[in-house]
Structure 1
Amino acid sequence: MFKNYLKIAWRNLTKNKQQTIINLLGLTMGTLSCLAILLYVFAQLGYDEHHDNADGLFRVETIIERDGQQPYESSTSSPPIAFALKEDFPEVQEATRVVLTDVFYSMLMRAADSEDSYYESRVYMADSTFFKVFDFKFLEGDKKTALDQPNSVVLSSSLADKLFGEKDVLNKAIIWGSGDGALTLTVKGVFDEKAQKSHLNPNYLVSMGTPGMGTFVQNFDNFATNNFVYSYVKLAPNVNASQLEDKLPGFIQVRASEDLKSAGMGNKILELQKVKDIHLYSEGRNNQLDKVSDITFLYFLLSLAFFIQLVACVNFINLSTARASKRAREIGVRKVVGAGKNSLMGQFLGESVLLSLFAMFISIPIVILLLPLINDLTQESLTYLHLYQWQIIVLLLTIGVVTGLAAGIYPAIILSSIKPVRALKSAAILPSGSGNFRKALVVFQFVVSIGLVATVIIISQQFKFAQTKDLGYKKDNLIALRIGTEDASSKFESLKSSFLNIPGVTSVASGNYAPSEMILADNGFYLPGGNSENRTVVKRNGVSDGYFKTMGIPLVKGRDFTAADTVDQIIVNEATLKAFDIKLENALSSTLIQGTDEETFEMRIIGVVADYHFASLREEIQPLFLHKETEPNWLFLKTNTDNYASLIAGMEDQWKSTVSNVPFDYRFVDKEVERLYDEEKRLGLISVAFTFLAIFISCLGLFGLISYVTEQKKKEIGIRKVLGASVHSVVQMLTKDFVKLVLVAFLIASPIAYLLMSKWLQGFTYRIEIEWWVFVLSGGFALVITLLTVGMQSLRSAVANPVKSLRTE
């Protein structure tokens, strides 16, 4: 019986080739989209689930509340908090801290027996308890003791290979830093960074007891300030994290109230975030360690996959029900000879499931071939091995079967319900409401298409806005060159002079932070005569004279730095004046006080610059002051040339002749700023790709449907033409119903897309306004696509010779 069903299914599929190809192509495109999206989504899941007692691992995060200001939410906390929690609460089994040193200084590193130095990112200083909290697969060394001693380092396997080029690297020496401040580190372990997925994603870890930043963190005992440490706690089994979190306000009151008062800070709140949730649920939290994703983005992608697959199912339903009359006689004959309704439903469902599973198998090699393109779109490193995850296999089979059942259930019910007498007499065989149902399905396709087109336009507009918005400085033709070492920093003036002699370089300056870099440095200030306990935090950046000219930042009051200026002379942005309620005309006679009542420092304002975006457009411009810096971290070169290859080569020659054993590390500022919006760019590209897939599938369905409609009406068209109807009137007759459906879909899709995209845009402090023409354009695009798809097929029928369609009568 089953074999017979398969034979009949196969014969019917091969007999109706056009319908089969359209359905197969649509289902394949839908399944391909689902598979590609599932691969990406699964790559974003499972972060930090491999740790022992992963459900009991939490990051201690900070919310700082100040009067009249937005609460500042950070993934970091003050240095002493983690171990104080362990000391005060028996619920805390272990604690550890990490410091991302990339933010504070760039450290050169090299193997002790090599002259090749490197800048390496994702460098952490970590407590000796780090590997008691987090599990990493060690290839060499003992993770229990790897970070116990000062000057110890644990390397990722890729970095170990880069530095030493061999497997056995335990107890080998590494030179960390340069000049008099260089340290010799001993390799105490190597871990496999590819074994598990973690939000930490370290490249190498240095023991916290190592002199410098590590010992500063260990000795710092203020619970209010210096919130730059990533603190983690491991709770004892069966501890309720919410109950522990309820105790944290009391902890802050006891431990930090005096420090908060002395620092002039408002309320400080501690929260516990489950480590497993960091990668997907960190929206709104500043100062993330590494690139994180967003669960909302994954929901969007899964919804996109669902609707694309649904559009493919709609095509199948439309074409199957529209062509029901083609199988009427077959059904009538089978019912006459004893076939029951259930057996017929099984037959038709089997055909749709067979087609869906066939589409599933076709989609797999296509996805493998498209993996390079998918990786470009998603910025991931997916391989064909990701297809072998049992979850992917189960989901793919489920999609194949469910899609086949969903696409085939309605046609199966309709076809199996046909009365044999009506079928054999060639009477009307479909229920009266089936035509309206098909129209509703076509409207649904248009709603999805119009909504996706509007979404793509709005996302593209926001991304373009972020790229083209005036940031307050000129990012184009600006090169940032990492200085990195004290030796290079001390030669700034020599480097500046040599770079200015290179054709194409118009100005040179320096600073501690490059544009797009996260600025963690800040100071608390208050006005003379004010309350030192109610200070305002102002971000800090050290720069050289000529910085504002090079960066293209306009001075709205006062002057630039000169060689004679000292560190107590500062230039502030307009946001700082607003924060302290200082009028612009009074700015140059104003001072800000830093410190406590026992020891204060008076900072004199000598200039005011226009507000500029030194962070992402997702964040509001914060108060900032700039001071004179003699040992900067970055050189900035303003250029004017069409030959960047020659300019970069000249820069590298000058660099190597002035600074020895320091890599020539440069970047174009506009590209670095663009990276701040990688998520939006990725979202835009993915949306565009899958929107075109959805539209293509819809067009396939329209093509198949209008082909059937014109075939059904070919005799009517022939009679109309014989009676004098024009080609235009025939085309109009065939297309007008579809145009009406587009208009209905437009009225449904526009408000839905508006509401969804308005909510998405709320995540940006600086954003576009959604304009009415976006939806008109989306509806117009759908209308044009419809007219092209339907009109071309209609035109073929309209210009056909009527004799051919009537001669059989």
Structure 2
Amino acid sequence: MFKNQLKIAWRSLKKNPLQTGINILSLTVGTICCLIIISYVNAQFGYDTHHNDVASVYRIRTKIKSISNNSINADVATSSPPIAFALKEDFPEVVDACRVVYFGSGEEALIRNPKNNQSYYESKGYVADSTFFKFFNYTAAEGNLATALEKPNSIVLSKKLASKLFKNENQIINKTLVIGAGENQFNATVTGVFNEPTTPTHLNPNYILCMNSPGIGEYTNNISNFATQNFAYSYIKLGANVSKTSLEKKLPKFLLDRGGIDLADMGFDKKLLLQSVTDIHLHSKGIDKQIEEVSNIEYLYALLFLAFIVQLVACVNFINLSTARASKRAKEIGVRKAIGAQKSSLVQQFLSESILIAFLAVFISIPIVLLLLPVANVLTGGNIEPEHILNLKILLLLGSMGLLTGLIAGIYPALVLSSFKPSKVLKGATELQSSNGLLRRGLVVFQFVVSIVLTVSVIIVSQQLKFAKQKDLGFNKDNLLAIRLGTQELQQNFSAIKSQLQGVSGVSSVTGSNNYPSRSIMGDLAMRLPSQDDNNLTSVFYNGITPNYLETIGTKMIKGRKLRETDSTGILVNMATLNAFNIDIENALAATIVSSYGSETENYEIVGVTENFHFEDFKQAISPMLMYSETEPDWIVAKLETNNLKSVLSGLEANWKKVNPYAPFEYVFVDKETEKLYAEEQKLSKISIAFTILAILISCLGLFGLVSYVAEQKKKEIGIRKVLGASVKSVVQLLTKDFLKLVLVAFVIASPIAYYFMQNWLQDFTYKIEIKWWVFLLAGGFAMLITIVTVGFQSIKSAIANPVKSLRTE
């Protein structure tokens, strides 16, 4: 029975090649979208699921709020270093603890192999407790990872880094590496090598130093304050059947007992929260200081919804074309019913046709998606691999999707077609109800609503992205080069390096700073006015600069003088700082602000005020920031005055090597780094454009199929009109006017929908565009143009056809 239905379905599809081709093409496009997005979303949901006992592992998160106004000042993924192991001491529910110190991918450490004296700046370096590999699963390439971080000065390397540092050496366990340079350098012993994780995780180290090491490890272990220094990523593991909620309820008292005095000294309060490790990647919206870039569950749901809409638009094409061509199959149905076919068997027959088309679309989409993976990864910012698609879970999901798509697309046409009465259709009456035409018009309107909403979204997202790119950043990013001074030895040698680089042809200015423009500033101070107490503290970011920094980056002074090397307590502040402390610009140079840390205070005199400039993304308002005189900066910033960058870079590297023969010459272009401030908007813009094009393509396919059928249905009417003298223009108007009316209805429906969603999206931005009325007219006009082109092509073809051919059978 099923085999017979498939044969009949296949023959029916072959009889109507245009309709079949349009349905398969539109469903294939929809399926490609769904498959790419499902694979991407599935990978995003798979973060950190491979660790042992991961359901009982939580990261300690911190909310800091002001006592004076009870407002949240910070919500971070980190906590004070002593908290994790104090929880283990105080609560039997906590069976183990681990801390990870990591300051960001931009914080490279100098690592040298003393055997060949080759050195590299390496990022993604962690300092972790010996329990790290008990919490997180990494497979060992060499050594025993379970004990690899127990001994002081031990280091564990990723396999990739190990190959880089030791080339083709087979056995590297117990080999020595030199970490850092100058007074702060120390030797570390390689105690393990791990393979790079194949399952996505929020922890992707290149190397891990044990916490019992000099430098940041020793510093972390010596911190006893429970209020400040919230830089440690702290993890705890709960015992069996321990409720996260019940432990969280005990944390306020724990923090008060352990750190009440510390918090009182600082003038703020803290709240500790537990976040499941498997929730970190998708449920960290609004939580700052993440180790890796996190996703957003709402963003993934939006992608899935868009994929569903595109697939639904493709299903609408199937429904429209099937019901429109019902009259062509009326006699076939009448004959079937006359010889005893039941309605249920007819429904099965028509559903088998739609399901067959859906599975053909699925089958065709798989190799196309595999070919489009590089493009898909650029659009989504993901890392979809062929194995993410060619696995049992996704293939079963695809099969289910094909079945569901076939049912959704085919159920209504099947019910309509199977309801014909044989006594009427065999006499020539198709018995199509007016509601069928109304449904078709409604579905066409739905397609245009989707197209117009997506078009408006593309325009607004593109406008916001353009606004971000063209917005005055407060500095001139063009031809700015930032060169890393990655060790204390290089920082102390800043003046000599600066002098050497200034002599390079094509370099107009050289300066130094601890953070180059657009680089996120992590350090902040709790500050107040001298007349205020510690209950009125304001967070102010700080950056060390050399005297000619502002001239080099192009930031304007508004009032006062520049910094001098002799300034010890003199500072520059931005306008946001004056606003935060309600200091009038006219009185700014007489003002003092106080850094407060427990019983210790430090007075800073404002000697100059600069304009605001961005060092965070555009969703954040520009924060208060001060700049102080620095003689040993972390970065050299050079202003170039030539387009021959290759020659200038060669000259800079050659002069660098004269002063620093063993230090790597590593640099970044500030304009490229600035693009990261609006990277999310760039990704959204690309995805929006892709979805809009696909949705419009599918809608055009459906329109083309519908107008082809209408033209064929009205072939004789058109022939008679032409014989009676009708012009080509009047015939084209006859075929297009109804579709243009539907576009107008869609425009009226889509405009408020698009406005609502895009206005909500823009609310996340502090600096944003205003939605203009012409955006909607442009989107509606574009939909109208697409309709005229799509419908007009077939209309003109029908209008210029020879009427004799269409009337010869009369």
Question: Could you say whether these structures have the same fold, taking a TM-score greater than 0.5 normalized by the shorter chain as the test?
Answer: yes
User: Does residue 211 of the first structure (1) align with residue 214 of the second (2)?
Assistant: yes
Matches within 5 A, 1:567-646: 567-595=568-596, 599-646=600-647
Aligned to 1:356: 358
* Alpha-carbon distance, 1:723 to partner: 2.0
Per the TM alignment, residue 167 of structure 1 is displaced from its structure 2 partner at its CA by 4.6
Amino acid at match of 2:231: F
Question: Does the 8 Å CA contact 1:616/1:676 hold for their aligned counterparts?
Answer: yes
Residue in structure 2 matched with residue 437 of structure 1 by the alignment: 439
CA 715–225 in structure 1, closer or farther in 2 if over 3 Å, else same: same
Between the two proteins, what is the percent identity of the paired residues?
55
Identify which of 558, 572, 580 aligns with 1:556: 558
**Residue matched to 2:230:** 227
Secondary structure in structure 2 of the residue aligned to 1:446: helix
Separation of aligned partners in 1, 2:488 and 2:73: 37
Within 2, Cα distance between the matches of 1:325 and 1:520? 70
Partner of 1:767: 768
Aligned counterparts, 1:242-257, within 5 A: 242-257=245-260
Show the counterpart of 2:62: 62
* Alpha-carbon separation, structure 2, partners of 1:676 and 1:161: 34
Shift of 1:758: 2.1
Q: How far apart, in 1, do the equivalents of 2:108 and 2:20 lie?
A: 61
State yes or no: 1:522 paired with 2:510.
no
Residue 406 of structure 1 corresponds to 408
Q: Which residue number in structure 1 is paired with residue 396 of structure 2? A: 394
In structure 2, what is the equivalent of residue 7 of structure 1?
A: 7
CA distance in 1, matches of 2:479, 2:710: 59
Residues 588 and 445 (structure 1), Cα distance of their counterparts in 2 relative to 1, 3 Å cut: same
Between 65-74 and 12-21, report the one with greater CA deviation: 65-74
Matched residues in 2 for 1:788 and 1:360: separation? 30
- Specify whether residues 386 and 599 from structure 1 end up closer, same or farther in structure 2 by C-alpha distance, changes over 3 A only: closer
SS in 2 for 1:306: helix
Equivalent residues of 1:94, 1:132 under 8 A apart: no
Does the 8 Å contact 2:63/2:271 carry over to 1? yes
With 495-504 and 338-347 compared, the bigger mean Cα shift is at 495-504
Distance 1:600 1:269 in 2: 25
SS of match in other structure, 2:118:
coil
Q: Which amino acid aligns with 1:645?
A: K
Other-structure match for 2:787: 786
Deviates more, 1:657-666 or 1:273-282: 657-666
Tell me the equivalent position of 1:808. 809
Question: What CA distance in whole angstroms lies between the structure 1 residues aligned with 2:324 and 2:527?
Answer: 75
After superposition, give the CA deviation of every residue in 1:650-674 in whole Å (9 maximum; x if it has no partner): 1111112221211111111111121
Alpha-carbon distance in 2 for matches of 1:704, 1:167? 65
1:111 and 1:380 map into 2 onto residues whose CA distance is: 34
Per mean C-alpha deviation after superposition, the further-off stretch among 344-353 and 425-434 is 425-434
Q: What corresponds to 2:705 in structure 1?
A: 704
Q: Does 1:258 align with 2:264?
A: no
515-524 or 430-439: bigger deviation: 515-524
Partner of 1:463: 465
Work out which of the residue numbers 168, 175, 180 in structure 1 matches 2:178: 175
1:449 is aligned to 451
Query: Aligned equivalents of 1:336 and 1:106: distance in 2?
Result: 81
Which of 331, 340, 343 pairs up with 1:341? 343
**TM-score normalized by structure 1?**
0.97
Distance in 2 separating the partners of 1:149 and 1:781 = 68
Greater Cα offset, 711-720 or 583-592: 583-592
Equivalent residue, structure 1, for 2:539:
537
Which position in structure 1 is the counterpart of 2:45?
Answer: 45
Partner of 2:757: 756
Q: Which amino acid aligns with 1:48?
A: D
Shift of 1:197: 2.0
Residue 16 of structure 1 deviates from its aligned partner by: 0.9
Q: CA RMSD in A?
A: 1.7
Contact 2:262/2:598 (CA < 8 Å) preserved in 1? Answer: no
Check whether the contact 1:336–1:420 (CA below 8 A) recurs between aligned residues: yes
* Cα distance change of structure 1 residues 555 and 238 upon mapping to structure 2, 3 Å threshold: same
Mind listing any 5+ residue stretches in structure 1 that lack a counterpart?
none
Structure 1 residue matching 2:547: 3-state secondary structure: coil
Corresponding residue of 1:271: 273
- The worse-fitting range, judged by mean Cα deviation, of 113-122 and 632-641 is 113-122
Q: Which amino acid aligns with 1:326?
A: K
Q: Is the 8 A contact 1:228 1:520 kept in 2?
A: no
Q: 2:373 aligns with which of 371, 374, 398?
A: 371
Tell me the secondary structure at the aligned position of residue 201 of structure 2: coil
**Distance in 1 between the 2:540 and 2:137 partners?**
38
Retained in 2: the 8 A contact 1:176–1:184? yes
Residue type at the aligned position of 2:590? S
Q: Partners in 2 of 1:80 and 1:35 — Cα distance? A: 46
What's 2:495 paired with?
493
Q: Equivalents in 2 of 1:613, 1:70: separation in Å? A: 22
Q: For residues 576-611 of structure 1, what are the alpha-carbon distances to aligned partners after superposition, in whole Å with 9 as ceiling and x for unaligned?
A: 222222221222122222345854322221111111
Give secondary structure in 2 for the equivalent of 1:433: helix
> Deviation per CA, 1:183-226, whole angstroms, max 9, x where unpaired?
11111111222233211222211111101111111111111111
Worse-superposed segment, 19-28 or 763-772: 763-772
What SS class does the counterpart of residue 676 from structure 1 fall into? helix
- Give 2:570's aligned amino acid: Q
Corresponding residue SS for 2:75 = strand
What is the distance in 1 between the residues matched to 2:462 and 2:190? 47
Query: 1-side partners of 2:103 and 2:598: how far apart?
Result: 32
When structure 1 is superposed on structure 2, of 654-663 and 345-354 the one drifting more is 654-663
Query: Retained in 2: the 8 A contact 1:53–1:237?
Result: no
Aligned to 1:415: 417
Distance 1:448 1:312 in 2: 12
CA–CA separation in structure 2 for the residues paired with 1:158 and 1:755 = 48
**Equivalence for 1:126:** 128
Unaligned ranges ≥5, structure 2: none
CA distance in 2, matches of 1:406, 1:529: 70
- Please give the alpha-carbon distance, in whole angstroms, between the structure 2 residues aligned to 1:611 and 1:364: 51
Deviation string, structure 1 residues 545-584 (Cα, Å, up to 9, x no partner)? 1111111111111111123x23311111122222222221
Secondary structure of the residue aligned to 2:432 is coil
What SS is found at the alignment partner of 2:147?
coil
Q: 2:303 aligns with which of 293, 301, 304?
A: 301
Distance 2:279 2:263 in 1: 29
Render the CA deviation track for 1:450-474: whole Å, top value 9, x for unaligned: 1111112222222222222212111
Residues 1:18 and 2:3 aligned together: no
> How far apart in 2 are the matches of 1:144 and 1:549?
53
Return the letter of the residue paired with 1:272: L
Equivalent position of 2:316 in the other structure: 314
Q: Is the 8 A contact 1:718 1:806 kept in 2?
A: yes
Q: Secondary structure at the match of 2:382?
A: coil
The alignment's TM-score, normalised by the length of structure 2, stands at 0.97
Letter in 2 for 1:287: K
Q: Secondary structure at the match of 2:725?
A: coil
For residues 72 and 497 of structure 1, the distance between their equivalents in structure 2, rounded to whole angstroms, comes to 41
- Counterpart Cα distance in 2 of 1:224 and 1:767: 36
Give the equivalent residue in structure 2 for 1:735. 736
Q: CA deviation at 1:366?
A: 0.7
* Deviates further, 379-388 or 319-328: 379-388
Cα offset, 1:380, TM superposition: 2.8
Separation in 2, partners of 1:578, 1:358: 63
CA distance in 2, matches of 1:229, 1:516: 24
Q: Is the 8 A contact 1:101 1:125 kept in 2?
A: no
Q: Which amino acid aligns with 2:785?
A: V
CA contact (8 A) 1:483 1:634 kept: yes
CA contact (8 A) 1:515 1:615 kept: no
Does the aligned pair in 1 maintain the 2:107–2:123 contact within 8 Å?
Answer: no
Contact 2:79-2:229 at 8 Å conserved across structures: yes
Distance in 2, matches of 1:386 and 1:132, equals 28
Q: Is the 8 A contact 2:526 2:597 kept in 1?
A: no
Q: 8 Å contact 1:91–1:239 — kept in the other structure?
A: yes
